[in-house]
Structure 1
Amino acid sequence: MSLDLPLVWAGIIALAVLFYVVLDGFDLGVGILFPFAPTPRDRDVMVESIAPVWDGNETWLVLGGGGLFAAFPKAYAAILPALYLPIMIMLLALVLRGVAFEFRARGRARGKAFWTAAFAGGSLTATLAQGLVLGGFIQGLTLKDGAFAGGAFDWLTPYSVMVAVGLAAGYALLGAGWLIWRTEGELHDLARRWAGTAAGAAAMLLAGVSVATLFLHPQVAARWGFDGHGFSGSALARLAPIPLLGLAGLATVGLGLGRRSHVAPFAGGLIVFLSGYLGLAAGFFPYIAPYAMTFREAANEDNALALMLGGVAILLPVILGYTVFVYWLFRGKVTADAGYH
């Protein structure tokens, strides 16, 4: 039996995007929380906690974007023009953030305040841009004969802005959960307060985005069995585990904070993001350019997909192995004086 290569590649790209969101999400969240740290010493510890992993986390963005270009060139050609501006803003913000990360640690002392602001601003800007990309993507793309035929600012709507703010709250939740796991003392306690605030904001915004999606996008509403007045029992029963998973994630965060767990708030945040990701997949699969092009219509030729799959079969285990090794190596708590211990 031969492999369904377009489906395999859709799964690889979906996995890469999920890994990027949850891994780079928490270190972007740390940057978003930067302005709320009371002292430079606290900010130094926050940076130290992500220093060994932040650049490796962005590997998944390269894999997802490169995989889309190579495996689904028609989708790449349709999606990029539709979302060109927020994607460019995101990439520029990530570059600024990376430069600020290095110069803040190794530049002159008198420039540290500037690079601190650049790191926080780059983190927030990249997050909001990602949210605008996501919101514009969920709204659907205007295609004609497989090419983008909409306007340059179709992605900028109240809906996409709400998605962007919700993503920022979610990343802040992941960042706070990471700091709870990796820090101690006063910063650890402060991160618990941040996590509670971010969890409340993320829950409200996630609920708002979910309701707005059902009313604004009939294609998604039909998947969930919503007709504008209520849900059909069969569709809701089939997909109910997805929102229940999100509620379980929020409950894990809340219980973890209440019991002063070091790991549960971060784990709960990851579960919330997994639930949201599965909800998106349920809403637009098999469309890769909603709601006009399926992944099969956008796929490259099978011989090209097979050739690239051979390379990924070697590369993906290396990336996963390196990622696991680095997280295991730097698994301890971070202190201001000694870094990891």
Structure 2
Amino acid sequence: MEPYFDLVPIWAGIIGFGVIMYVLMDGFDLGQGILFPFAPDEQARDVMMNSVAPVWDGNETWLVLGGAGLLAAFPLVYTVLLPALYLGVFLLLAGLIFRGVAFEFRFKARTSRYLWNWAFAGGSTLAAFAQGAVVGAYIQGFETEHFRYVGGALDWLTPFVVVTGLGMVVGYALLGSTWLIMKSEDYIQAWAYKITPYLLAVLFAIFLIVSIWTPLTDEYVRARWFDSLSFIWLIPLGALLCGVLLLRALKLKQEGMPFVATMGIFIFAYFGLLVSKLPYIVPPNYTLWDAASANESQLFLLIGLLFVIPFVLMYTAWTYWVFRGKVKAGVGYH
């Protein structure tokens, strides 16, 4: 019997919301780690870590929520993606573990603090690159037969995936630098202002490379974007406008707008990715409906999740409200 309601689009919206919330929330604290080796001095590194210490673990709630929801609603994604991306997922988790452990040990260490600095920087960079690599692997698609992955363990590791991985590293660094503009003062803030335009330039250069490369290698994407001009061309224009707003905010020495504009760039890039590939969730063969679990399972889990999400939003908003304002040198997480 056909279900009364098609829950697949609802679940796709929930998973999509969880993913972009994770990227925006955890992106800027991974960005602090990426920028860590280039900070002016150890006091600047203290401020960078203190600016995200109260919120970083809560930010990862969105990763858990999105991952658990994806397993429940679209189990085929795990059936294909995990065998295809074992190494990439392992690197992602290893990076997040190193980053998390560094938070706890760095401020307690004395002679070995430099090691935890590298653990924080290396873990953050590794996790960011792995996330970008997963995005690149999703764009280029997977070799499947009968709902199973039949490719090799390293088939995903292509030059295109390396470029998307580097793009995510640079993008998170940009989120981190604009977050630091908003949360720091004096010479640390001046350093963040200085590096942000260069990060923006590199990010847009990578965007341009990926935007040209993808339709040249994927007929479906090429048809989606070029067969007929439509409103989807407003998406790259929106990202470009956010870049202009970011540069203007930097010129005017605004503190909050650079971070907001950078989030806008990520949101438009995310919409561009979705428009390019949907309804395929395991490209190039399987759509959202092919990958979906039984309607009864989706309904049961949806009821619980609709209670969880508002609470996650509320405690996230409360945390950011409590720890609002500038982070001062010598005060913070110890």
TM-score w.r.t. the length of structure 1 is 0.95
Residue 283 (structure 2) pairs with residue 281 (structure 1): no
* Alpha-carbon offset, residue 236 of structure 1: 2.8
- For residues 100 and 26 of structure 2, the distance between their equivalents in structure 1, rounded to whole angstroms, comes to 12
* Alpha-carbon offset, residue 22 of structure 1: 1.0
- For residues 79 and 210 of structure 1, the distance between their equivalents in structure 2, rounded to whole angstroms, comes to 23
1:215 corresponds to: 216
**Superposition map of 1:49-60 within 5 A:** 49-60=51-62
> In the alignment, residue 301 of structure 1 is paired with which amino acid?
A
- Runs of 5+ consecutive residues of structure 1 not aligned to the other structure: 226-231
> In the alignment, residue 14 of structure 1 is paired with which amino acid?
G
1:146 corresponds to: 147
Secondary structure of 1:334's aligned partner: coil
1:199 corresponds to: 200
* Alpha-carbon offset, residue 2 of structure 1: 4.4
1:309 corresponds to: 302
1:46 corresponds to: 48
Q: 1:8 aligns with which of 7, 10, 21?
A: 10
Secondary structure of 1:335's aligned partner: coil
2:317 corresponds to: 324
**Superposition map of 1:161-176 within 5 A:** 161-176=162-177
Secondary structure of 1:23's aligned partner: helix
Secondary structure of 2:111's aligned partner: helix
Q: 2:250 aligns with which of 257, 269, 272?
A: 257
1:243 corresponds to: 236
Residue 79 (structure 2) pairs with residue 77 (structure 1): yes
Q: Is the 8 A contact 1:29 1:123 kept in 2?
A: yes
1:228 corresponds to: none
* Alpha-carbon offset, residue 195 of structure 1: 1.0
Residue 121 (structure 2) pairs with residue 120 (structure 1): yes
Select the structure with the greater relative contact order (CA < 8 A; seq sep ≥ 6).
2
Q: Is the 8 A contact 2:18 2:63 kept in 1?
A: yes
Q: Give me the CA root mean square deviation.
A: 1.3
Secondary structure of 1:110's aligned partner: coil
Secondary structure of 2:281's aligned partner: strand
> In the alignment, residue 24 of structure 1 is paired with which amino acid?
D
- For residues 168 and 236 of structure 1, the distance between their equivalents in structure 2, rounded to whole angstroms, comes to 32
- For residues 98 and 258 of structure 2, the distance between their equivalents in structure 1, rounded to whole angstroms, comes to 29
* Alpha-carbon offset, residue 219 of structure 1: 1.2
Secondary structure of 2:155's aligned partner: coil
Q: Is the 8 A contact 1:134 1:163 kept in 2?
A: yes
> In the alignment, residue 292 of structure 1 is paired with which amino acid?
N
Q: Is the 8 A contact 2:40 2:188 kept in 1?
A: no
Q: Is the 8 A contact 1:195 1:265 kept in 2?
A: no
Task: Kindly provide the CA deviation profile for residues 26-49 of structure 1, in whole angstroms up to 9, marking residues without a partner as x.
Answer: 110111000111211010000000
2:161 corresponds to: 160
Q: Is the 8 A contact 1:136 1:154 kept in 2?
A: no
Task: Kindly provide the CA deviation profile for residues 58-87 of structure 1, in whole angstroms up to 9, marking residues without a partner as x.
Answer: 111111111111111122211111111101
> In the alignment, residue 222 of structure 2 is paired with which amino acid?
A
Q: Is the 8 A contact 1:75 1:293 kept in 2?
A: no
